[in-house]
Amino acid sequence: MTETTRQPCDLLIEAGWVVPVNPHGVVLVDHAVVVSGDRIVALLPLAEARERFAPAQTVSRPDSVLIPGLVNGHTHNPMTLMRGVADDLSLMPWLHEHVWPIEGAVMSPEFVADGVELAVAEMLRGGTTCCNESYFFPDAQAATYRRLGFRARVGLPVIEFPSAWAASTAEYFDKGLEVYDNYRSDPLVSLSFAPHAPYTVSDESFERIRMLAEQLDLPVHVHVHETAQEIADSLKQYGQRPIARLDRLGVVNERLIAVHMTQLIDAEIALCAERGVSVLHCPQSNLKLASGFSPVEKLRRAGVNLGLGTDGCASNNDLDMFDEMRTAALLAKGVAMDATALDAASALRIATLGSAKALGLDEHIGSIEVGKQADLTLIAMDALETQPMYNAISHLVYATGRHQVSDVWIAGQRKLADRELVGIDVDALRAKTRQWQQRIAAIGNKP
């Protein structure tokens, strides 16, 4: 084929290995992904790609693995500015004695925007291209994600006590719907309802959320069955376990993104499978807060869609999805007492396509397929720590560190190039972070 008959494209990414995630467990050797605009237009053997396409730019990484961008299925990214303020505590003392008092003192659009920018920088350097967000000031979140060109589903918060964002339940709904109107057609920023948890949201609010979610076609992103105390308190107050209460209110359906789910009985697992609920697993946060163990393998074998998230940096304390995959795979084996539980390919899947499906974005991201958005991550495998390599997927889950991520694209736009962030002023970001550190430390909550 002559130069004049080769098809023009914007980008050709050549990799020693491509892991498309769908089909499941497949590794393609010496393949290339072709990108035009924001979309993948071809995935084919390297020699054929070079013959058929004339790219404006070529990135050749023969010692690297190309995967779909990782999808952080649950996080509170402004809390990146609270990394390490209250360690080694259980959930309720952590919230009531540390997190909520600090938030009461510093919560503002500026705090949220700066925390999101710090989180985006960390996520990009770790190969993450999309996140599912739950925090206050969703307007400031959305504006920052849009400015940085980062894909996010931003939660519209609902909680039954006042905050710097809203003074009443009615105001949470009114302001949230205004944010929805402003971003309903944004190509990168989408919305969800994000009621905090069953123990902080009333029946009336959940019923209104159910109605609006149906009308606006939005997911409902909520912490559910996170601790044994939550179950006991719900039984005392409502005479029902939280998931049963949510089912009574009409919330348990294919829109529900149920986060944590460490306290489950078999009937609840079957209910989630029947209703199409997605469960977002946050193993490191659950371990750190001693909240319990999600029965991930039982959920997976029942057919429940699983996603993976880091939770926020105040309870993790990082946004490292590679480390989260490894923890998820290892913990699942220990909980199930089965070495075959959550194998490497399945761990990678929940960190990509599973999270994307939970967010309702699986038609656009989560796998390397023709027609999907070009959200892509390259990982260098030539380090001594990942030598020798017999199985690329095994290494991604059990041996790779996020420092090996070299290049990242979102919607075809390069966001990380040879480990250098594109479009983020690192020195300015570091300076802003230090200012917040000084202010938060002065509150007196940091040990």
Tell me the HSE value of 240 on the side-chain side, using a 13 A CA sphere: 13
Average pLDDT over residues 325-346: 98
Assigned domain for 420 exists: no
Residue 106 CB partners (closer than 8 Å, separation 6+): 81, 436, 439, 440, 443
Nearest to 184 by CA among 140, 153, 157, 159: 153
Give the per-residue pLDDT at 329: 98
Q: In what order do the strands lie in the sheet with 256-260?
A: 70-75, 128-133, 151-158, 189-195, 220-224, 256-260, 278-281, 305-308
Residue 296 CB partners (closer than 8 Å, separation 6+): 281, 306, 328, 331, 332, 335, 336, 341, 342
Tell me the HSE value of 218 on the side-chain side, using a 13 A CA sphere: 30
**Count of domains for the chain:** 2
Checking if the pLDDT of 447 tops 60, the result is no
Assigned domain for 149 exists: yes
Q: Which of 3-7, 16-20, 264-268, 302-306 has the lowest mean pLDDT?
A: 3-7
Question: What range does the domain containing 42 cover?
Answer: 3-68+376-410
Comparison of pLDDT for 70 and 89, the residue scoring more: 70
In angstroms, rounded to a whole number, what is the distance separating the alpha carbons of residues 320 and 69?
13
Under the banding of pLDDT at 50, 70 and 90, the label for residue 446 is: very low
Under the banding of pLDDT at 50, 70 and 90, the label for residue 2 is: low
Phi and psi, residue 275, nearest 5°:
-90, -5
Average pLDDT over residues 416-429: 98
Q: Give exposure, 353-386, as e/b (b: 16+ Cβ within 10 Å).
A: bbbbbbbbbbebbbbbbeebbbbbbbbbbeeeeb
Last residue of a domain, one of 332, 358, 384: 358
Give the per-residue pLDDT at 406: 98
Residue 307 CB partners (closer than 8 Å, separation 6+): 71, 73, 74, 132, 257, 278, 279, 280, 281, 350, 351, 354, 355, 356, 357, 358, 359
Residue type, 137: F
CB 151 within 8 A of CB 375: yes
Place of tokens 């880091």: 310
Place of tokens 């309720």: 92
| CATH number of the CATH domain containing 387 | 2.30.40.10
Clarify whether residues 57 and 129 are in a common domain: no
Assigned domain for 351 exists: yes
Average pLDDT over residues 19-30: 98
Under the banding of pLDDT at 50, 70 and 90, the label for residue 438 is: very high
In angstroms, rounded to a whole number, what is the distance separating the alpha carbons of residues 28 and 126?
22
Assigned domain for 15 exists: yes
Average pLDDT over residues 423-434: 98
CB 188 within 8 A of CB 149: yes
| CATH number of the CATH domain containing 155 | 3.20.20.140
Clarify whether residues 17 and 75 are in a common domain: no
Assigned domain for 440 exists: no
Checking if the pLDDT of 3 tops 60, the result is no
Average pLDDT over residues 316-325: 98
In angstroms, rounded to a whole number, what is the distance separating the alpha carbons of residues 151 and 363?
14
Assigned domain for 40 exists: yes
Last residue of a domain, one of 297, 331, 358: 358
In angstroms, rounded to a whole number, what is the distance separating the alpha carbons of residues 11 and 310?
31
Cα→Cα distances 184→25, 190, 306, 357, 404, Å: 35, 7, 26, 19, 35
Checking if the pLDDT of 224 tops 90, the result is yes
CB 86 within 8 A of CB 99: yes
Q: Which of 73-87, 94-108, 258-272 has the lowest mean pLDDT?
A: 94-108
Clarify whether residues 133 and 260 are in a common domain: yes
Under the banding of pLDDT at 50, 70 and 90, the label for residue 90 is: confident
Assigned domain for 422 exists: no
CB 284 within 8 A of CB 323: yes
Under the banding of pLDDT at 50, 70 and 90, the label for residue 92 is: confident
Under the banding of pLDDT at 50, 70 and 90, the label for residue 444 is: low
Q: What Rg value do the Cα atoms of the chain yield, rounded?
A: 21
Checking if the pLDDT of 234 tops 70, the result is yes
Assigned domain for 429 exists: no
pTM score, two decimals?
A: 0.97
* Structure-block tokens of residue 389: 């390599």
Chain segment 269-316, per-residue pLDDT in tens: 999 999 999 999 999 999 999 999 999 999 999 999 999 999 999 999
Chain segment 369-409, per-residue pLDDT in tens: 999 999 999 999 999 999 999 999 999 999 999 999 999 99
